[in-house]
Amino acid sequence: MPELTYPQVGATAGALPDGYRHVRMQRTIGHGSDVFQRAADDLLRGEAQRRAGVDISLSQVPVRVGSTVEMRLPLGFVAFSAPCRVVWAERTPDRAGFAYGTLPGHPLRGEERFEVRLLPTGDVCFFITAFSAPGRWFTRLGAPLVRVVQTSMIRRYLGALVERPRDDA
């Protein structure tokens, strides 16, 4: 089994390591237990990535520690492969999520954590935490563009689980 491409496994759960770009973003995606349950189910099936336009394949559904995540991100006339391994996964009555770390062949080195929480107020919030650094020659060369693409993708992930009004007609 390929080894992760960074040594700070699990660091998205706390203080992010030096030497990487850090991202912490969140969005309220709805309100109430039903919204939380749907968002948790969707998150653990890779729907945030899929709805954001990423072709994703999971070795296990729902994801769990050790699951392999194979993603292909189309950018214009090319698509980038981004293999990862799940390093943390959890589901409780008010929290669900997973984190994956990069494997050889991924354009970046680092970890990304996706977490949905049902807050005491009833709000359902989606949190994404990441640390990354260029992992390939082309991501080192295009680092400013990579940061723009990464931020755009995180915003798309955050919007992917927003509760939409249901049409009962």
The CATH homologous superfamily to which domain 24-160 belongs is: START domain (3.30.530.20)
Residue ranges per domain, the chain? 24-160
Using one digit for the tens of pLDDT, what is the confidence trace for 96-125?
Answer: 999 999 999 999 999 999 999 999 999 999
Strands (E), the chain: 21-31, 55-58, 68-75, 78-92, 95-102, 108-118, 123-134
- What CA–CA distance (Å, rounded) separates 149 from 143? 10
- What CA–CA distance (Å, rounded) separates 47 from 41? 9
pLDDT score, position 1: 62
Total Cβ atoms within 10 A of residue 122: 12
Mean pLDDT, rounded, for 120-141: 91
Strand, helix or coil for residue 144:
helix
Q: Mean pLDDT lowest for which of 24-38, 78-92, 115-129, 155-169?
A: 155-169
